[in-house]
Amino acid sequence: MVKNGSHLDVETLAMLQNKAISITLPVVYTLVALISIPGNLFSLWVLCLHIKPKTPSVIFMINLSITDLMLASCFPFQISYHIQSNHWIFGKTLCSLVTVMFYANMYSSILTMTCISIERYMGVVYPMKLIKWRRKRYALAACLGMWIFLLLAFYPLESTDLTYEVKELGIITCFDVLKWDMLPNFGAWVAFLLTLFVVLFLIPFVVTVGCYIGTIRKLIQTSNRYGNRQKTRSIYLAMIVLLVFITCFAPNNFILLAHMISRLFYHSSLYPAYKLTLCLSCLNNCIDPFIYYFASKEFYQKFMQVFRPKVLLSDSLETRRESLFSGRTMSARSMSSGPVDGLEGVKVYLQRQESVF
Domain CATH for 179? 1.20.1070.10
Mean pLDDT of 156-173: 90
pLDDT above 70 (res 212)? yes
Say what percent of the chain tops pLDDT 70: 79
When pLDDT is cut at 50, 70 and 90, the band that residue 321 belongs to is very low
**Residue 88: closest CA among 101, 72, 69, 74:** 74
Give the pLDDT score at 266: 78
Could you tell me if 232 and 329 lie in one domain?
A: no
Q: How many domains does the chain have?
A: 2
The span from the CA of 93 to the CA of 161, in Å, is 8
**Residue 211: closest CA among 106, 125, 138, 108:** 125
Q: Is residue 1 part of a domain?
A: no
Q: Is residue 4 part of a domain?
A: no
* DSSP bridge pairs for 147: none
Give the pLDDT score at 27: 94
Could you tell me if 21 and 125 lie in one domain?
A: yes
Q: Is residue 172 part of a domain?
A: yes
Could you tell me if 159 and 180 lie in one domain?
A: yes
Give the pLDDT score at 310: 59
**For residues 312-340, b (16+ Cβ closer than 10 Å) or e, as one string?**
beeeeeeeeeeeeeeeeebeeebeeeeee
pLDDT above 50 (res 91)? yes
Could you tell me if 77 and 210 lie in one domain?
A: yes
Q: Is residue 3 part of a domain?
A: no
Using one digit for the tens of pLDDT, what is the confidence trace for 35-80?
A: 999 989 988 988 888 888 888 888 998 999 999 999 999 999 999 9
345 lies in which domain range? Answer: 309-357
Picking from 307, 322, 343, the residue at the C-terminal end of a domain is 307
pTM of the model: 0.80
Greatest mean pLDDT among 10-14, 163-167, 224-228 lies in: 163-167
Could you tell me if 215 and 318 lie in one domain?
A: no
Could you tell me if 73 and 125 lie in one domain?
A: yes
Could you tell me if 290 and 329 lie in one domain?
A: no
Give the pLDDT score at 324: 40
Could you tell me if 69 and 35 lie in one domain?
A: yes
Could you tell me if 207 and 349 lie in one domain?
A: no
Give the pLDDT score at 26: 93
Could you tell me if 289 and 192 lie in one domain?
A: yes
The span from the CA of 187 to the CA of 307, in Å, is 54
pLDDT above 90 (res 28)? yes
- Whether the bond between 53 and the residue before it is cis, its omega within 30 degrees of 0, is yes
Could you tell me if 292 and 357 lie in one domain?
A: no
Mean pLDDT of 278-303: 78
Find all residues with CB under 8 Å of 280, minimum gap 6, and list them.
247, 248, 251, 252
Mean pLDDT of 159-177: 90
More confident residue, 341 or 13: 13
Could you tell me if 183 and 112 lie in one domain?
A: yes
Q: Is residue 2 part of a domain?
A: no
pLDDT above 90 (res 147)? yes
